[in-house]
Structure 1
Amino acid sequence: MTTTLLIYFCLAIRLHAESFNTSTTSTPFSLEGEYSKISTTCFSSRDYELLSGDFIRHTYARLFSSTLLEYSAVTIGLAELRKALAFGPVRPWTHYKYEEPTKQELESATSLEEYYNLIEPTTPIQSLDSLFFFEKNIHIAVDYLDKRLPSIRNIFRRRFEEKSKGTKNDRK
Structure 2
Amino acid sequence: MDPVKLAKLQALASTNRIGGKGTVRRKVVRKTKPSAAQDDKKLQGALKKLNVQPIAGVEEVNMFREDGNVLHFTAPKVHAAVSANTFAIYGTGHVKELTELVPGILNQLGPDSLASLRKLAESYQSIQQGQQRPAEGGAAEEDDDDDDVPDLVENFDEEKKADLEELN
The answer to which structure has the higher helix fraction is 1
Please identify the structure whose Cα radius of gyration is greater. 2
TM-score range, shorter chain: under 0.3
- State the TM-score, normalized to the length of structure 1: 0.19
